[in-house]
Amino acid sequence: MATTLLDPVAYPLEDVVALYGDRWTVELRLREIKTTLKMDVLRCKSEDAIRKEILMHLLAYNLIRALLWQASVTHGRPLHRLSFAGAVQRLDVMAPYLWLFAGTRRATRLYALLLEWIARDMLPYRPGRIEPRAVKRRPKAYDRLDRPRSELRAALLRQTG
């Protein structure tokens, strides 16, 4: 790790290492938003719609984080060890039933069950874990779709005909 914080009194090594750990946590959280919530590709075209799309992803992220926090507090689990992706999957399964039974005792019991499921999905403890920054799968070697499909079809028909 390289840094410009060279004064060992003002910036003790332990503090710099802790900041690096915090930075890694932030990167993991951004990856959760981009990958797990599928925000890696924005689908809107206008600037205003893109802004709304990003805000909706952040809202969903914060609501799921609140669900994780509630599961952590309710079941006495460390928050940073609960699986974000697992919480999303369990919420996807339970959401239709929570909606169906909204306002009833059954919904309250289902919500308690959801929190229990989330609390059970603990990530393994891996101190000092180091992972390479590499992509496992390479993208396919196809050309990019940069013209309307109808034009590309017509060009293919001319080549084969």
Q: Where do the DSSP E strands lie in the chain? A: none
At residue 1, does pLDDT exceed 70?
Answer: no
Which tokens sit at 99? 């909606």
Residues 84 and 91: beta-carbon distance below 8 Å: no
d(CA 160, CA 88): 47
Give the closest residue to 36 by CA, choosing from 60, 17, 14: 60
Identify the weakest region by mean pLDDT among 19-23, 80-84, 133-137, 157-161: 133-137
Q: What is the pTM of this model?
A: 0.68
Give the closest residue to 60 by CA, choosing from 39, 83, 80: 39
